[in-house]
Amino acid sequence: MKKLVLFLAAIALFISYFEQSTSEKDGIEQTLKLAEQGDATAQYEMGYIYYFGEGVPQDYNKAYEWYQKSARQGNVKAQCNLGDMYYNGDGVEQDYAKAAEWFQKGVDQGDDLSQFNLGIMYREGNGVAQDYKKAYDLFLK
């Protein structure tokens, strides 16, 4: 009896996993279709999916491509994430000046995370001239 219960539990777990992975795959395919049609939010989501390897193998190059497409359309999250990629050198050559440019685009749209990140850059003098006043102002925005 114990073996039967364990066997049935294993089957239930397998079915649950299969349904979840099929559902996840369908969601990624839908998002990809929208992204290819130029939807900025879907492009951002594809960047996120590839950056973190959510349901696909992690691929910083593909993440960068999708974030670029989305950011060019003004998606503030994509702009901030591109800033992060340049700041950390994830899939691109580390470039603090480019990171600051992308964070500034986010700041211009009122994005809190971009403001914080750019504030740190001004505080540390990475990619921008060190300026404690600008850092302070960004932290208080």
The string of pLDDT tens digits covering residues 81-101 is 999 999 999 999 999 999 999
Q: Which residues contact 79 (CB under 8 A, 6 or more apart)?
A: 71, 102, 103, 105, 106, 109, 111, 114
Question: Which CATH topology does 74-141 take?
Answer: 1.25.40
CB 114 within 8 A of CB 107: yes
The string of pLDDT tens digits covering residues 42-92 is 999 999 999 999 999 999 999 999 999 999 999 999 999 999 999 999 999
